[in-house]
């Protein structure tokens, strides 16, 4: 396998109760070419995932762990990881789930596409060659509906904007105001895709086969689904025509008062 990406890569793995998956996942990620470093962001998992992460990190200097005080949400876990990646000088800052829904062996393809000139690369279920295996029909529908709403209401072009398997170039994360993102949970993914596209960055998608988790429990619940709908509406409202008219009006009155001063 040829490794195309120059520069250092960090994979952020948010965990909440992933004790059955974490050690195997880290093993497969660390076996990849290119010495990809890992940051596990654990939210005081009651099942002891944090202690497992510490034990792995004690034996491997390329595995790091961020412990947070409690379940603070997937979005804020990503954000904490992004800040870490920027501070530590990583060029490629990636994210994936800990439950093997995202195959570690697909990561080099994401990094290669990022290195070829894409600012954000998404491991996508919904481009040609992508697939979903083992998800119940309701989960498939929710994912499909969230994407459809993001496409129609927000104009997001990425086919799979709810996917958590991603590779960001550091410049993207330095440009976007991460602390202004209001989603704390799963809808963070939609908000990031929206902001990345709106900032004019180039998004690429690599087809992946998403496999439903076989170990551990899902953390998605009805509340996260309502929050995702709210996120889409809130992002939509931000760019409603009347807001653009108000912004233009304020711009004009500012220009007028500068004219009067001259
Ligand atoms: N640190 C942290 N990680 C979280 C939190 N919520 C979820 N995660 C992790 O985020 C990843 C995605 O969560 P999942 O429960 O697998 O969600 P999902 O993949 O959309 O849902 P399933 O298909 O049912 O597995 C997993 O690695 C979780 O352990 C959280 O509040 N904090
Ligand atoms: Mg999952």
Tens digits of per-residue pLDDT, 167-181? 999 999 999 999 989
Could you tell me the pLDDT band of residue 256, with boundaries at 50, 70 and 90?
Answer: low
Summary mean pLDDT of the chain = 91
Q: What pLDDT is attached to residue 219?
A: 80
* Beta-ladder partners of 65: 40
pLDDT in tens, 96-144: 999 999 999 999 999 999 999 999 999 999 999 999 999 999 889 999 9
pLDDT attached to residue 75: 95
Which pLDDT score is estimated for 162?
Answer: 96
pLDDT score, position 223: 86
Q: Could you give the CA distance from residue 195 to residue 200 in angstroms, rounded to a whole number?
A: 9
Pocket test for ligand 1, best of 12, 13, 16 (most atoms within 8 A of CB): 16
What pLDDT score was predicted for residue 184?
86
Ligand 1, atom 6: closest residue by C-alpha: 74
- What are the pocket residues of ligand 1 if the criterion is a CB atom closer than 6 Å to any ligand atom? 14-16, 18, 41-43, 71-74, 77, 97-99, 101, 164, 212-213, 218-220
Q: What's 8's DSSP letter?
A: -
Mutate to test the pocket of ligand 1, among 97, 123, 221 (most ligand atoms within 8 A of CB): 97
What is the pLDDT, as a whole number, of residue 171?
A: 98
Quote the pLDDT of residue 160: 97
State the Cα–Cα distance between residues 58 and 230, nearest whole angstrom.
41
What distance in angstroms lies between residue 249's CA and the mean position of ligand 1's atoms? 43
| Ligand lying closest to the C-alpha of residue 135 | 1
What's the confidence (pLDDT) of residue 257?
Answer: 65
What would the mean pLDDT of 29-41 be, rounded to a whole number?
A: 95
In the block, tokens 């001063």 appear at 261
- Whether the per-residue pLDDT at 239 is higher than 60: the answer is no
Q: Write the residue with the smallest CA distance to atom 24 of ligand 1.
A: 218
Q: Which residue has the higher pLDDT, 85 or 234?
A: 85
Cα(74) to ligand 1 centroid in Å equals 7
Nearest ligand to the CA of 43 is 1
Give the domains, in start order, of the chain with CATH numbers: 8-261 (3.90.550.10)
pLDDT at 262 (0 to 100): 59
Contact of 187 with 227, CB cutoff 8 Å: yes
Q: What percent of the chain is predicted at pLDDT more than 90?
A: 74
DSSP per-residue string spanning 110-130? HHHHHHTT-SEEEEESSSTT-
Over residues 234-254, the mean pLDDT reads: 71
């Amino acid at each position: 396998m040829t490794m195309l990406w120059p520069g250092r890569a960090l994979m952020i793995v948010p965990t909440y109760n992933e004790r059955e998956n974490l050690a195997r996942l880290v093993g497969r990620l660390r076996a990849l070419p290119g010495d990809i470093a890992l940051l596990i962001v654990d939210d005081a998992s009651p099942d002891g995932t944090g202690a497992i992460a510490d034990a792995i990190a004690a034996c491997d200097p390329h595995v790091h762990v961020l412990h947070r005080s409690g379940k603070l949400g997937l979005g804020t876990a990503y954000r904490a990881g992004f800040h870490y990646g920027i501070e530590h000088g990583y060029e490629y800052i990636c994210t994936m789930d800990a439950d093997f829904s995202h195959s570690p062996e697909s990561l080099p393809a994401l990094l290669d596409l990022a290195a070829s000139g894409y600012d954000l690369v998404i491991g996508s279920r919904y481009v040609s060659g992508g697939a979903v295996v083992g998800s119940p029909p309701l989960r498939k529908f929710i994912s499909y509906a969230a994407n459809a709403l993001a496409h129609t209401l927000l104009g997001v072009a990425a086919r799979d904007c709810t996917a958590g398997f991603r590779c960001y170039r550091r410049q993207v994360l330095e440009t976007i105001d991460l602390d202004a993102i209001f989603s704390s949970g799963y809808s963070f993914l939609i908000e990031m895709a929206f902001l990345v596209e709106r900032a004019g960055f180039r998004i690429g998608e690599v087809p992946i086969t998403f496999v439903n988790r076989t170990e551990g429990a899902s953390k998605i619940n009805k509340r996260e689904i309502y929050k995702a709908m709210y996120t889409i509406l809130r992002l939509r409202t931000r760019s409603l025509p009347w807001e653009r008219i108000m912004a233009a009006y304020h711009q004009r009155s500012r220009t007028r008062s500068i004219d009067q001063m001259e």
